[in-house]
Amino acid sequence: MFRDKSVLPLFPSNVWAHDLEPSLFEPMNERLLARIEALIDPRPEIGPGETWQTRNDLQNDASFAELFEIAHEAVQGVLEFQQAEPLPMEVTGAWANINPPGSPHSPHVHPNNYLSAVYFVRSPSGGDTITFYDPRERAAMIAPRFKQVTKENSLSINVEARTGRLAIFPAWLKHSVPPNESKEDRVTLAMNFMFTDFTRRVSRPQWEGL
């Protein structure tokens, strides 16, 4: 009946996962954890299910310079994948999240940025996933019963958040963190990237009239 059949994946929402070599991330993570602990010491009181967060300008802290050098290189690779013109990017904000046992992170986006990233400093078993949500708000208008849940029919997808992984994604892509079901703190570094010269190089009209 059909000469051919194919599925055309249109408008994908990509997440770029970069897994560092253990010989690189293991000593670096020890230094990062020590600095993060110092930043929140003494730890302020938080309620059940809440998260500790550091200040949001860690891109200016020399203790994190090695990680941000790695992140900048990864972001340039993402831009090359997108076939974007080579433009300088800067970190507009960066902070550490410490999720104690039982703590989640509710769904959210990162406004006023082009790309966001999260680096998993410590992801214990039971606290090693991050959830991304289908950006098509009306995709569930009609939802039949599926025989099996797959990435093609699910409205949310869990991505492995293994220690030493840097995940980069569009800043508009909604994401969350399930409750930490381990007995250890889950520690991540979040960061946002934006074009350094956005108003002059990007936001101007990309066409010319007569």
Amino acid identity, residue 9?
P
Cα angle, residue 106 at apex, residues 102 and 112 outer, rounded to 5° = 140
Alpha carbon 50 to its chain's center: 19
What's the confidence (pLDDT) of residue 120?
Answer: 98
**Is 163 within 8 Å of 122 (Cβ atoms)?**
yes
Q: How big is the chain, counted in residues?
A: 210
39: tokens are 């930043």
What's the confidence (pLDDT) of residue 208?
Answer: 79
Instruction: Give the start-to-end residue ranges of the domains of the chain.
Output: 16-136+151-199
Those residues of the chain that have pLDDT short of 50 are none
28-34 CB contacts, 8 Å cutoff, 24+ apart:
28/66, 28/67, 29/121, 29/122, 29/163, 29/164, 31/63, 32/63, 32/64, 32/67, 32/121, 32/187, 32/189, 33/121, 33/122, 33/187
CATH superfamily of 16-136+151-199: q2cbj1_9rhob like domain (2.60.120.620)
What's the confidence (pLDDT) of residue 111?
Answer: 95
85: tokens are 């013109």
**Is 179 within 8 Å of 130 (Cβ atoms)?**
no
Nearest to 131 by CA among 160, 91, 111: 160
Q: What share of the chain is helix, strand, coil (3-state, %, to 5)?
A: 20, 30, 50
What's the confidence (pLDDT) of residue 147?
Answer: 94
d(CA 153, CA 151): 6
pLDDT in tens, 161-195: 999 999 999 999 999 999 999 999 999 999 999 99
Nearest to 119 by CA among 194, 32, 27: 32
d(CA 124, CA 138): 35
162: tokens are 């293994």
Alpha carbon distances (Å) from 90 to 71, 80, 150? 10, 16, 36
d(CA 168, CA 117): 4
